[in-house]
Each structure stands twice: as structure tokens, then as C-alpha cells.
Amino acid sequence: MVATSHDVMPDIELYQPTDEANALALARELGTNGWLLSGGQDTYGWLKDRAKRPGAMIELTRIDAWKGIRETADGIEIGAVTTLTEIAENPLLLSRYGLLAEAAGKVASPQIRNVGTLGGNLCQDTRCWYYRRGLDCYRAGGNLCYADSPEALNREHALFGASRCVAVSPSDTAPALVALDATMVISSASGQRTVDAEDFFIGPAQDILHMTVLRPGEILTAVRIPAAWANAEYYFEKVADRNVWDFALVNIAAAMKVSGGAIEEARMVCGAVECVPRRLRSVESAVRGMPRSEQTAEQVAALATEGARPLNYNHFKVPLMQNLVKRAVRG
Amino acid sequence: MAYMHIGKDFVPQDAPGKVTGRIKYAEDYARDGMVYARLLSSPIPHARVLDIDASEAMAMDGVFGILTADDVYPDGEPDGTGLKVLTNEPTLIGEPILAVAAVDEKTAEDALERISVTFERLPFVLDPLDSLQEGGPDAYTGGNTYIFRQGFAQVKWTADQVAGFRSGTEPSAEAQQDVSFGDLGQAFSESAFVYESPFSTAGYPHMSMEPRSAFAYWENGKCFLHGSSQSMTPVAEGMAAIVGCPVEDFVFINEATGGGFGQKARPNSIPSMAIPAKFSQKINRPVMMRISREEETFIGGARQGFQGWIKVGFRQDGTMAALDMYIVSDNGGKGGGGDAYSAADAIVVLYQPSAMRFRGTAVGTNTGHRGAQRGPGQNQIAAIIAPLIDKAAEELGIDRLEIRKINAHETGDGNARQAPATSAYMPEALEQASALFNLPERLGRSRARSGSKITGIGIGQGYHDAGRSGMDGIVRLMPDGRLQIHSGVGNLGTYSYAATSRAAAEVLKMPWERCDVIHGRSDRHLPMTSPQDGSNSIFTNTRTNFGAAMDLLDKMKEIAAMDLGGSVEDYDIADERVYQTADDSVGMTFAQVAQRGIELGGKYSGQAEVPEGISDFTRLSVERLAGSALMGIYNDPRHEGNVPGLTVSMIEIELDTETGKYEILDMCSIADCGTVVHPQGLANQLRGGAVWGIGLAGYERHLYDPQNGLPASTGYWQSKIPTLLDVPDNMGTGWVDLPDPENPVGARGIGEPAMGSVSAALVSAISDALDGHFFGAAPITADMIINHLAGTSENAKALAQNNFRG
Amino acid sequence: MDGEIVRYKRDVWGEEVILGVSWDLLWVVATAILILLAAHAIIMAVLANRKMDKPSSEGRRVNRHHVVDRAFHWIMAVSVLVLIITGTAPILGWRIAWLNIHWIAGLVLTFVVIFHIIRAFFWQDFKSMLLGPRDFGEPFDSAKKPGKYSFEQKGMHWAMTVVVLAVIVTGVVLFLQIDTPFWDRTNSMPEDQLGLMFLLHGLSTLALIALTVTHIYFALRPEKLFYTRSMITGWISEDEMAANHDTSKWSPKEAE
Amino acid sequence: MNPKLTRRRFIKGVIASGVAASSASLWYAATGQSRPSGAVERMVRLDVNGQMRPVDVAPQETLASTLRYKLGLTGTKLGCNRGECGACTVLVDDVPTYGCSVLTHSVKDQRIETVEGMESANGQLHPVQQAFIDELGPQCGYCTPGQVMSAVGLLRSNPNPTRDQARQALAGNLCRCGSYDSYINGVMRAAQIG
């Protein structure tokens, strides 16, 4: 067999469960041989390339329980298969959690947002081009990284948390949800568990094959955002080469509670600089009690990139990250 | 001059089909018993196929066969570079090795997975300078370069010469190509401002929306090939040769082409279209071959990348005294094109230096095949020279518009080979752009800061030689009085096949709705013409259609004089009648004239000897049309001089120093392309060129991993094709609209320069916003701007512009 | 992947190369070794009916292990266990940041092993560990008694030596392929050779696991427990010595 | 490229590249496990351009391939087959969707509209189509069907869009010829006549 270029969907089974129990049972039964299909925007490429070969797809979008945006006692709950377009346009989100709505509106292109779901955007695989080419690198179960070597083309890769693999988190909504201190609801045939958004994503040191804590048989079914961060002051920005159909070179999501001109509490997160959305804890604590001003911005920006380990081509992400932090703090 | 059609908009006959989806592109056809082919392409940058084992695949249900290079070239593959139909010695990843045909695409790809190919790996190279280095690997087995009419050659430099070139000092190595005029030393000594710098520009793929899919079948000895080409008759003739089918038995069908920007213009850039033809001949079934986007990236052609060194000198009065330029160009895996010389030629045309020296060496690399792409050479260099012109203006204290006017190209001015311009109105174009764009006021805002944003104003100029001659024309006046204009022009989206036909309607004062443009299938008996590249069509084919219509007009008058008395001079035409100027009641309708022409036969209906110099292809068409109508047949004589297509673009941007991103607030483009034939089409070319220019200056790329030669950009996303939100809204357009004496309707071409001037203007604006910083590169990506502003450490590399690693 | 010993992958150009050992073997080895030891335990239990008096640990004591050697043994033991645990964690699906711990433990092991080799050559009674042809009769002749080390102990030692050296050598090669505080990876190793290293490292790891389990098992056997004690305290009783060793071949000093 | 490194990589000379056991990712390799029941039925009835069309659809089949190769609706183009160009844009319950990146089975219960369905019964062009002709939106025309569908989708949800809303709505449709401006002019014109 030759590693030639493929472009056609190979034979693969499809299940379209309409109720939760059925879907979870299928997920358990199929295990790693099953592929969770939501909007499919990070599915068909893998399959057409024949780079990943699941035996069956389980479509999650027919389960109403996992759709929609509901108010709850302490905040809101968003079904994981709610489309990004719905999230970007939802009045409730726009009024209280504009950060997430804005982030969702920045994803890819209109047509992709029309079918792409929140769950899909959170669970999507990394865009490292070596990995996407179907190479058997660490992340694909291999034994080396093609992107972290003396001559590799790694402009889009990680500044932090690299462990053999230097791929980064591709999601725009993930940093927003970490900034909003969201909780992920994970269901499986054996029950339900919840995980903080921050802990939902895992780096290569913990598990080089997966980007989330999801185990075979588990499904991300909902995301809960606490009221605590409703109507905070938000800042989101995505810097990419193109304004459509592109992944962030760096993106930032910040939520700040400001009173009396001073920042009481802040959560700041950068995407595309590490395998997981990176919390800027040192910045968060440094801005506490300070005003949202140019001076504060200048003082704290450098903290954001402490410990950065640039690769061949991504040094620019260091000043870019600092600048984005400045913009977030400055407001 | 008041025209009936020239300079007026019209609805091209294929436009409705395009908005309804009814018009068919190659892959939209189907036929009973049609099978689907998929390609097995090389996973290795440079290799030799030792063995192919397809037994497992052949045993599968629904698999009809495979086609290999041995089937296509029983007597061995043609020597030399250039894409082959299929090959056993791939020199780039993605080069087609064999095709499998099956009942559907899925089965064909399942079969591909069961085919094993044994390769011998050969050394590969990605950076031309690595290949120039003594002992460095060569991209081709025969050497690292291919010299036209001489074959493979090996060019090697000393380690010092390579190191020197990388470090940007004046190159000392002997060049493949060395063209010069004037006294360079003298000219530099006269210069008040001399600037010298290395530079690099990216090569990147064409990425036409329609991949070069093709469909073919044979029917009682005739081969029918549905393809996707920019051109029609020249490709029909050439593809027949590649397929190995006599031209008279070969039918090339290409009603519409989903975009072509240089690499769908000529048969040798689309040999893959012969695969279904050869395949269907072998398995005796209609074969559809869809080319995937990734495959299109590999074999669809790419612009040549440059690494160069430029030295320019300007006199105190702002005139360009001297240009000295050295370019090593990346010729890719299949041998490249003449971009480098064209780059030097463009600077000469646009700025008229008194002395010039160009040295160039083209080196092969095991990367995507290179070839002509919209403004090959002219448009890369436009983005490099523009900020240098601005530098000179700043140093010499001359207004940025003024310095361009001082050096502007005008009628009679020469190109690098001293061929005089048939006509050129660059000063007018600059003035017009300045007025439309309100340049003086905008220049007042130049480098103004607001927060993290800086305003940058850019001026750019574009050039491409845009006209050929010597082609053929056929028009027919039908018995029902309709005018049929046979066009050998391809339908690549410029509507030039129709716009150029209007020259014939103009001559005969025919209402457009009474005219039919016959095109899109080679068996519609079309005249031979030049390929639709080099922005030549509007010039070349208005000449042929005008000429053919004049021939028809003479014949009409002869017939009228013959039947109604008097001499030819006594007759004129109007309202589809030939009439006596003395008494317009005496005359005959076009329909009557046509019928008489058929009765008379001979030269009137194409049954006599055709004009001297007409091509065999056209002759065949005429023979097949003979006797069907009153015919106008024409072979266009050669024209004198260089036909320039010129553009000026102006851009205002707001560059964000914190993100390295900029917004194009406003822009405009003005064309100097002689008389405007089709305003909407021209506006489309100016806007389309702008989008391309923004891509070249901003982010389009074609990356290869230096370690293993893997292509890092194989689709739209990774190649960074500009999207709607990357380009400004409401681009301003305009034209000088002064006629060219060498064209009967005064027209010159424009497609290519429309891009160069915009890439130049954008780079000029970016450089303006950054206090005149000269990146010496295109594209200028966000990371380069951030690194520059942050003064990021030396080891901070911007993503490779091309395969050169500086 | 079913039942194969070697796992393969495609190299960067799509050609098949070795990826490493198939970790299915981990279960094979684990099961096999447990069955063997269980069998041994049962047999011993049966034989145990024929009462043979256990030598007393009271009375005069003689030196068996110098404090330095005991320290070495336990450092080595800990590092090996840490290496096995961290090495198998990702295979067993434990999501821990194992790599750094793994190579640090690997370095410790490497250094103490080097130390031990040097010491064994120059400061220890090297002969006492040599495995000669005569030793092989030992298990079958109850009259024959060993010198300082029994046939089993020598066998275990030399098997361990081979396996540990194998994991160390392959481990060091792999260590060079990752980024560390000391260097950045060079990516200069051809993929097929890299795969071979992973394979050897994996195979020797499997052997190491088997030996380690066996070693621990015997160390905990009641009739051998005094050896384990001696590896902690350093001494055995003269009774124990007399019962298990030939004093003409081994006459240790009395422990004060 | 580092010559030393590549030389080392090429010392091998002749090597076979055949007979690979598994595809790129062992971790997803389909093992011959037993399949649960309840997988999709192949025969479906699709509501395409207002007609119910019975068609045999493989589980993994994309809508674009069903439309093009099973129903002969070739107006829907494949520019990239990867959701990166928009030439295959169709309307699913009025929502612009990439036909190449949605499974036919996923939309089998929904209303599917393609460019072929935009003309009225009497053959009159849709205002968007007419406006695109008037503004000469199409150049090569390959992206045009997708542009038409995105524009129609916009005007159904927002009959009087601002120019910026139109740009946002058509942002998911690539045009290599660069006719973006002409298409937006067309949308604005269509909004007036429509």
C-alpha cells in the first residue's frame, strides 16, 4: 500500500440514535471502533484521507436532550450538539455571556458554524499539519514528533507544555469556556460525571493520544456556565492569517469582574499556544485590584509568556501573546 | 470613436448557465458505462518505480483495470522535464504514477490501497541553493536545471558563492542567463541614491476552483475528451498529440473552465487530462477522472519562488539610472518558466533605467511543478520594487506619485530588449488614480497613529506584455442572415471569447442578438489562436475577428456589386443590409447575400484556397464548413512593437502594530489597456487581480518540510487563498481608455498587471506604515510584522517564504 | 495488532518500519510469570510437609552485605520499580505525566549500575558471583553447598545484569531523542533504527518485569526471607550460613 | 534541508514501500468486532428541490456525492471536497450547508435545495441569479452555484441585509477569480428587486 492521496469516504457504518440511552450504549459497545459524529466538520477529512479508520460513526445530533441553551438555577446549560451559529446568535448568551457568543462567531466560516457544534469545537483534534497529513507521529501512536526538530515548520505550534508533541489547541470556544469557569458534563452508559473546563483538556504529558479526558464510551453532552461570571467584562480576540476558515495563531479570552474602577477578579486564557487552553494565572493575580488601564497592561503583559519555549518559527507568538494580554487588560 | 458594441456591456451567452448551474464543466458529464478513475501518486519527492504489483487490486470486484506509464509511453518516457501523463520517475510528491478505474470512486480508492509499488529512493532537494552547492543533490536525474533546446545541465557554485548569496552580498557566480544594456557603472556613478538588498518572493499554487478533472471516451475511432483548459484550439491540437490521436479524429470539449491562471493554458501543463483518454482506449469504457484538491495542489502548477539581489540607482531628479538584479528561481520538480527575466523586464518597462543588467539562474527542486502564473515574474517583483521606489522618493525628497510619473512608461518607450511600446499612458493612469483615490489628502494621513494602529498609503504599478498576433479568424454569414463568429478562445471566465467576437459584430454593424459565438468544442470548426495566457486574448483575437469580418464585408460588397451593378466602393452596410450609398433602396439583405455566397461557392463559401499562412487546424475547420455560408476567413499579419498592459493601484491600510494584521480601508485600480472593449469584464479583471495581489503580498504560500520534502500546504486552508473578508469592499476601478494603434479596435490586454499593481501597492502601504521598513519579501505575513516590531531575537525565523531558507 | 510481537508504523514517506513491541505481550508475560510462581508456591507447599528444620537466626552473626552494597541494591530496586510503573502507565491508560519521572529514574539507575560495576571489579569479591560449570550441579545434589551466592542467586544476578544493561543502553538512546533540560532533540535518527530501539527497549522491559516479579517472589519466600533481611541489616546467623553455604568456599567475617 | 541528515536517510538505496499492515493510525484501525444492530437503512426518500426522490445512499455518503452522482444535480460543485471553498453549498431547511461535508443520511428528513431549484416553475430566474448576471458576478462560474445558495439563504432570513451583513453571509464561499465585490453588488441588487 502506498501513502498516496485519498479523497473518498471509505465504507463505514452509521448509527443515528434518537435517545440518550441508546447513544451511550452504542458508544460503550463500539468503544475505540466507534467515532462520535456531531457536526462532522473535523470528521470527514480524516475519513476521506483514510488517516483514521473507525468502523462506525455514531451521530449525536438527533438527541434533543443534548441540544439547546437553557437557564438553570446557577447559570446556563448548553447542549453539546448545539450549533455554533445558534450560540453566536443566542440572545441569552449575547446578553450575559457575550464572550462565548463572540468566540463561537469567530470559528471557521458561516456554513461550518451552521452545522458545527459546541461539543465538536471543543473536542476537535489538533491541526498540526504533520499529524493531519496522517503521519504516524506520537499523537497518532507513533514514536516521534516531526514538528519539534531543528528544521521543522512549526510556526503554528506550541510555546508551552510541550512533551514530545508540540501541537496546540485549535478551538476558539475552549478558551472562552475556561475563562467563564464552565463545567463539562460527561455522560456514559455507566453514568454521568462533571469536569471543570480547565481540566477537561489534557496535554501530551498526561496523554499524548488524546486532547480531552474523554474515555472510550464517554460523550460530552453539555456545558454549564456558572452565573458567577455572567455580565462580567469580557475580551475576546483571535489573530489568524485569514479572517475566514482559519485557526488562531493565538487567541485570547478574558473575563473580568470590575468594580470601583478596579479588577476584583479575572480569568484570562490563551488558545493556540499550548496543547490545552492556557490559563494566565500570573496575569490574573497580578491584575487583581488594579484598574483596567494602559499602565496595568504594560506591567502585566510580560508575565503571560514566562516559561515560553519557542520553536523554530513561532517566536512571534511571544510578543503576540503579550500584546493580546495588553489589549484584554486595557479594554 | 462611437462604437456599437466596443466599450458596451453585454450578457455573455454562458452567464445564465453559470448562475443556474446548467453549464457543464468536465466533471459534470456522464455517459452509460462510465467508470471512475483515481490516481496513485508518488509519496516520495524523488524516486524511481522498480515494480508495481496490482494483482490484489485487479482481483477486486468492480475494478476494471490500471493504467501505468508503460501503457502511456510504450517506447519509454519522453526525455526532459515537464509534466508527464504518468511517470515511473517522479520528481515531486504527488506526481501521478498510475490510475485505477472502478465502478465508483470508493472502489477505485479501495483498490489503490491494495496496490504495492516498489520505489528506489533518489536524493531530493528543496532549496535551490542547496542544489547549487557543490556536491548538493540534484532534483532531476539529469542534473539540477534544464536548458531549453539543450537538455539537462548541472549548475554548481562554490561554497563561498552560495554562502555569499545567502548572506545577501552581491552575487559573483556566473549566471545561466545574462542580459544587459547601457553602461551600468556610469549609471550608478550618476546616481544620487543607490539601494542594494537581497530579497525573496514566494511561489504558491494556482488553486483554480475547478481541479483539472477530465472525462473521455472513444466512439467509432474518434476520441472525445472533456477537459478543463483556459484555451481551446491550441489545447485541442496539443492534447490530440499527447493522446496520440489524429487531430481530425480528436474532439476536445470544454464549454466552461473553472478558472485558469496560467497552468491550464497549454497542453504541456495539463497532460494529466490525457489519462482518461488513454485509459478509456485501454479498457474500452468511458472514463471519468476527478482530480482532488490535494492532487490539484501537486500537479496544478505553482508560481516560481525567487531569491535575489537587487541594486537600483536614482539620479537627483528622480529618474532611475541603473538596475542590477540577480535572481535564483525555484523551478520546481518539473522545470519552470521564465519568471526571473520577466521580473527584470517589468522593472525596465515601468521605470526606464538608462542601464540594466539582469542575471538569472533557474534551479530545479523536488517540489510542486512551476510555471506561468498570473504575471509570472512581473507580479513577484512588483511587490519588491514598490517600496524601493518609495525609499528613493523619500531620500531624494520627491513626491511618491511624482517619482513614478518621472519614470513612467510612455508610447515608444522600450522594454528590456528595446522593443518600443505600441502605446502606453502610465502618466495618465497615475493621474487618474490619484484623482479617483484623492491621493494628496490620503498622503497627508500617511503614518498617522491612533492607538496601536498606523495608517499606511501605498502606490503600485503593474505591467505585462499583453498582445500577440498572427492568428486566424473565421466568421460566417448564415443563409438566415445570422452572423456566426467562430472563436478558438477558451472560456476561462474572462468572457474574452465573447468580448473579442464583438469586434466582428462591430465591423458588420450586427445587433448582438443576431450573432452567435461558436466556441467550446473543437468539432465546431474553430480557428487556431494563441493560448489564453499572457493577457493576450483581447488584443490577439479582436485583430483576427475584425480581420475576418472585414474579409466577409468585402465579399458581401463584391456579391452586391456583382448582382446589383456598380463597384464595391459604391456599397456600404447598415441594418443587416448591403446597399448602394447613392440609393439605399438598392441593396440586399445579409440573408440574401449569404445565400448568394453559397450559390457562388469558391472563396465566398470557403471552397477555394484559404488565405496564405493560415494554420492546418484552421484549414481543417474551413474545409468542414465549406459551402455552409458566406465566409470571412483571415490570417492576421504580425504586429510591430511591445503591447503593454499597465495598471496603477492605490491602497490605504490601517496596520495594527500589536497583532501584525492590517485592514485595507480603501483601494482603487486604474487600467491602461487601450480602448475598453467590455467594461464589466475589465472591472472583474481589476478586482480579481486585486484579490490575487492581496494574496501575494499578504499570505499565500506553498510550504515544504525541509527534512523530508513533505508538502505542508495542500489545500485552500493551508495555502491561504484570500477570502471575502480579507479583501476590501467596493474596490474602485477605472481606465484610461485611449486606443492602441496596433489593434483595430484599439484594445490591449490587462488580466495580469491588475494583480501586480495591487501587490505592489499593498507592500508599499505596509512599508509606509512601518516608517519605510523594507522587508525585501513577499508575502509579508503577520508573524514577520510582529517580529519586526518586537525586535524578536535573531533566531526568530519567519515562516519560510518559499523553499529558500536564506 | 492481535497476537503480533512487533508493532509497525509507516515512516514519513509511507514505508513500513518497526514502531516497537506489541504491548499485548505485557499481559502474556504477566500471566505466564504468575502461573509459574503459583506453581512453584504449590510445589514448595507440598514439599513443606516433609519437615526440615529452619535454621535459627539467633546466635553469632556474620557479615553478608556491606552497607554500600545494600544501599546500591535498594536504590536500584526503587529506580527499577519507578521505571516499570512510569513506563507502563501510558500503556495501562493511567494519565500521569510519566516521562520526566521515567528518565530521571533511568539516570539514577544508570549511575548506580555504573558505580556497582566499578565497585564489583575493584572492591568486591568478584569471583564469588562468577557462575562456573560446577555451579550447575548444585541444585541436584543436596550435598553440594554454594559459596557466598547460590546458583539461583548467581543466575538471577547475571540475568538481571543482562536485562538491566539492555534497558539502560536502549533507554539512553531513546533519552537522546527527546527534549530535556540538557539538550533539544535532534531528530537525526532514521525512523527504522529508532523503531528498533523502541522494540529492544520494550522487549528488555518485559524481561525485566518478569525477573523483578520472580526476584521479589523469592525474596519473600519464608525459607529465603533471611537473605532479604540480610539485604537490609547486612548479617546472617552462623546457623543460616551453615545450613545454606559451604564455609570452605565462603568464610565471612563475624559481624560486631 | 540538512544534507547530512538526508544522506543518512537515503543510504538505504532500494527499499520496498509495499505491504503495510495497517493504515496511518493503528489506534483507529477497525478491528473485526461484532457490530451492534440498528445501523442506517440505505434506501431513503430525499426532499430535493421540492420533489421526493427515492435513492440508495451508502452510510458514509456525503450529500454532494448523492446530489451529483446519484441524482445528476451537477450544479453543486466540488471545489475541494473538504469544506474549505463553499462551491458545494446547498440549503438544508433554508440553512446554507457544505454539501461535501454533511452526510446525506444526516439530512434525509430535511428540505434540500440546490441551485437547480432556484428558478421558478415558469423558468424565471431567482432575483439573486438575475442580479448576478446583471452585475456579472460569475467569472469562471465554478463557485457561482455556491454563491447563489449562500445569497438565497441570507435573503430568506434577512430580506434587506446591509452590505456588511451580505459580506458576512457570503464569507464561506471562496472565489479564486476574485469576484467578491461583484457578488456582493449582486446580493444588494437582488435585495432591491427581490
Residues B732-780 pLDDT 10s:
999 999 999 999 999 999 999 999 999 999 999 999 999 999 999 999 9
Cβ pair D17:C9 closer than 8 A: no
Q: Does C91 touch chain A (CB under 8 A)?
A: no
Cβ pair B493:D81 closer than 8 A: no
Residues B103-108, mean pLDDT to the nearest whole number: 98
CA-based nearest residue in chain D for residue C12? D24
Residue type, A206: Q
Region of B654 (left: φ > 0; alpha: ψ -120 to 50; beta: rest) is: beta
Q: Does D6 touch chain C (CB under 8 A)?
A: no
d(CA A38, CA B6): 55
User: Are A220 and A184 contacting, i.e. CB atoms less than 8 angstroms apart?
Assistant: yes
Check residue C51 and give its pLDDT. 57
Closest-CA distance of chain D to residue A1, Å:
5
Confidence of residue D7 (pLDDT cuts 50, 70, 90): very low
Check residue C50 and give its pLDDT. 62
Complex prediction ipTM? 0.96
Burial of B262 from C-beta contacts in 10 A (0-12 / 13-18 / 19+): buried
Cβ pair C186:A149 closer than 8 A: yes
d(CA C166, CA C213): 18
CA-based nearest residue in chain C for residue D29? C1
Q: Which residues of A touch C100 (CB under 8 A)?
A: 205
For cell 518572493, name the residue: B201
d(CA B522, CA B222): 12
pLDDT 10s digits, C134-150: 778 777 777 788 888 88
Q: Does C1 touch chain D (CB under 8 A)?
A: yes
Q: Does A245 touch chain B (CB under 8 A)?
A: yes
Q: Which residues of A touch D61 (CB under 8 A)?
A: 9
Q: Does C9 touch chain A (CB under 8 A)?
A: yes
Closest-CA distance of chain B to residue D97, Å:
17
User: Are C205 and C167 contacting, i.e. CB atoms less than 8 angstroms apart?
Assistant: yes
d(CA B617, CA A152): 52
End-to-end CA distance of chain D: 58
DSSP string spanning A116-169? -BHHHHHHPPP--HHHHTT---GGGT-S--SSSSTT---TTS-SS--BSB----
Q: Cα–chain-centroid distance for residue B272?
A: 19
Check residue D15 and give its pLDDT. 28
Cβ pair D36:A50 closer than 8 A: no
Cβ pair A130:B710 closer than 8 A: yes
- Chains in touch with C (3+ beta-carbon pairs under 8 Å) read A, B, D
For cell 488584443, name the residue: B539
Residue type, D64: A
Question: Does the pLDDT at position D20 exceed 50?
Answer: no
Q: Does B94 touch chain A (CB under 8 A)?
A: yes
Backbone phi, then psi, for B595, in 5-degree steps? -60, -40
Closest-CA distance of chain B to residue A270, Å:
14
Confidence of residue C256 (pLDDT cuts 50, 70, 90): low
DSSP character at residue A201: B
* Beta-bridge partners for B306: B201, B329
* Beta-bridge partners for B450: B453
User: Are B18 and D144 contacting, i.e. CB atoms less than 8 angstroms apart?
Assistant: yes
Cβ pair C13:B707 closer than 8 A: no
d(CA B144, CA B764): 35
Cβ pair C190:D9 closer than 8 A: yes
- Dihedral over Cα of B57, B62, B64, B69: its sign: negative
Residues D11-32, mean pLDDT to the nearest whole number: 32
d(CA A327, CA B219): 68
Closest-CA distance of chain C to residue D26, Å:
8
Q: Which of A10, A109, A239 is closest, CB to CB, to B106?
A: A10
Q: Does C8 touch chain D (CB under 8 A)?
A: yes
All cell numbers assigned to B608 = 477555394
Closest CA to D7 of B155, C190, A152: C190
Q: Which of B105, B661, B712 is closest, CB to CB, to A129?
A: B712
pLDDT 10s digits, D108-135: 999 999 999 999 999 999 999 999 999 9
Closest CA to B624 of B646, B607, B641: B607
DSSP character at residue B410: B
User: Are B613 and B634 contacting, i.e. CB atoms less than 8 angstroms apart?
Assistant: no
Check residue B394 and give its pLDDT. 97
3-class state of residue C32 by DSSP? helix
Q: Does D33 touch chain C (CB under 8 A)?
A: no
Confidence of residue B227 (pLDDT cuts 50, 70, 90): very high
All cell numbers assigned to B527 = 480557428
All cell numbers assigned to A25 = 450504549
Burial of B11 from C-beta contacts in 10 A (0-12 / 13-18 / 19+): middle
Q: Largest Cα–Cα distance of chain C, in whole Å? A: 71
Closest-CA distance of chain A to residue D125, Å:
24
For cell 496601536, name the residue: B452
All cell numbers assigned to B83 = 509534466
All cell numbers assigned to A31 = 468503544
d(CA B108, CA A45): 18
Cβ pair C12:B44 closer than 8 A: no
All cell numbers assigned to A277 = 487552553
Q: Which residues of D touch A30 (CB under 8 A)?
A: 33, 36
Give the burial string for C165-181 (b: 16+ CB within 10 Å, else e).
ebbbebbebbbebbbee
Cβ pair D17:C8 closer than 8 A: no
User: Are B114 and B121 contacting, i.e. CB atoms less than 8 angstroms apart?
Assistant: no
CA-based nearest residue in chain C for residue B46? C13
Closest-CA distance of chain C to residue D11, Å:
10
All cell numbers assigned to B733 = 476601478
Q: Does D15 touch chain C (CB under 8 A)?
A: yes
d(CA C18, CA C190): 11
Name B253's Cβ contacts closer than 8 Å, sequence gap at least 6. B224, B225, B226, B227, B520, B521, B522
d(CA C151, CA C235): 20
Q: Does A134 touch chain D (CB under 8 A)?
A: yes
Best mutation target, D19, D139, D188, to test chain B (most B CBs within 10 A): D139
CA angle D7, D11, D12 (to 5 degrees): 140
3-class state of residue B297 by DSSP? helix
For cell 520494550, name the residue: C202
Tens digit of each residue's pLDDT, chain A (331 residues):
788 899 999 999 999 999 999 999 999 999 999 999 999 999 999 999 999 999 999 999 999 999 999 999 999 999 999 999 999 999 999 999 999 999 999 999 999 999 999 999 999 999 999 999 999 999 999 999 999 988 899 999 999 999 999 999 999 999 999 999 999 999 999 999 999 999 999 999 999 999 999 999 999 999 999 999 999 999 999 999 999 999 999 999 999 999 999 999 999 999 999 999 999 999 999 999 999 999 999 999 999 999 999 999 999 999 999 999 999 999 8
What pairing do the DSSP bridges indicate for beta strands B644-656 and B662-672? antiparallel
Closest-CA distance of chain D to residue A223, Å:
24
CA angle C86, C88, C91 (to 5 degrees): 125
Q: Which residues of D touch B258 (CB under 8 A)?
A: 77, 79, 140-142
User: Are D147 and D137 contacting, i.e. CB atoms less than 8 angstroms apart?
Assistant: yes
User: Are B459 and B764 contacting, i.e. CB atoms less than 8 angstroms apart?
Assistant: yes
Q: Does A244 touch chain B (CB under 8 A)?
A: yes
What pairing do the DSSP bridges indicate for beta strands A183-188 and A233-239? unpaired
Q: Does C195 touch chain A (CB under 8 A)?
A: yes
Q: Which residues of A touch D95 (CB under 8 A)?
A: 114
- CA distances in angstroms from C153 to A99, C75, C219, listed in the order given: 67, 19, 10
Closest-CA distance of chain D to residue C190, Å:
6
Cβ pair B708:C187 closer than 8 A: no
CA-based nearest residue in chain A for residue C13? A3
d(CA A152, CA D6): 14
User: Are B636 and B587 contacting, i.e. CB atoms less than 8 angstroms apart?
Assistant: no
Region of B377 (left: φ > 0; alpha: ψ -120 to 50; beta: rest) is: left
- CA distances in angstroms from B319 to B188, B398, B460, B495, listed in the order given: 12, 11, 17, 39
Closest-CA distance of chain A to residue D98, Å:
6
d(CA D1, CA B632): 60
Cβ pair B705:A146 closer than 8 A: yes
Closest-CA distance of chain C to residue B93, Å:
9
Name D37's Cβ contacts closer than 8 Å, sequence gap at least 6. none
Q: Which residues of C touch B121 (CB under 8 A)?
A: 13
For cell 492568428, name the residue: B471
User: Are B678 and B495 contacting, i.e. CB atoms less than 8 angstroms apart?
Assistant: yes
Q: Does A205 touch chain C (CB under 8 A)?
A: yes
Closest CA to B548 of B529, B531, B561, B569: B529
Write down the mean pLDDT value for chain B. 96
pLDDT 10s digits, B602-634: 999 999 988 989 999 999 999 999 999 999 999
- Chains in touch with B (3+ beta-carbon pairs under 8 Å) read A, C, D
Closest CA to D141 of B259, B754, B292, B688: B259
CA angle B252, B258, B261 (to 5 degrees): 95
Cβ pair B112:A152 closer than 8 A: no
- Chains in touch with A (3+ beta-carbon pairs under 8 Å) read B, C, D
Question: How many CA atoms lie less than 13 Å away from B387 in the CB half-sphere?
Answer: 28
Count CB-CB contacts under 10 A for residue A193.
12
d(CA A259, CA B722): 43
pLDDT 10s digits, B489-500: 999 999 999 999
Best mutation target, B41, B44, B95, B97, to test chain C (most C CBs within 10 A): B44
Cβ pair D17:C14 closer than 8 A: yes
Q: Which residues of A touch D28 (CB under 8 A)?
A: 32, 35, 52-54
User: Are B682 and A211 contacting, i.e. CB atoms less than 8 angstroms apart?
Assistant: no
Confidence of residue B795 (pLDDT cuts 50, 70, 90): low
Confidence of residue D11 (pLDDT cuts 50, 70, 90): very low
Q: Which residues of C touch D3 (CB under 8 A)?
A: none
Residues D183-192, mean pLDDT to the nearest whole number: 98
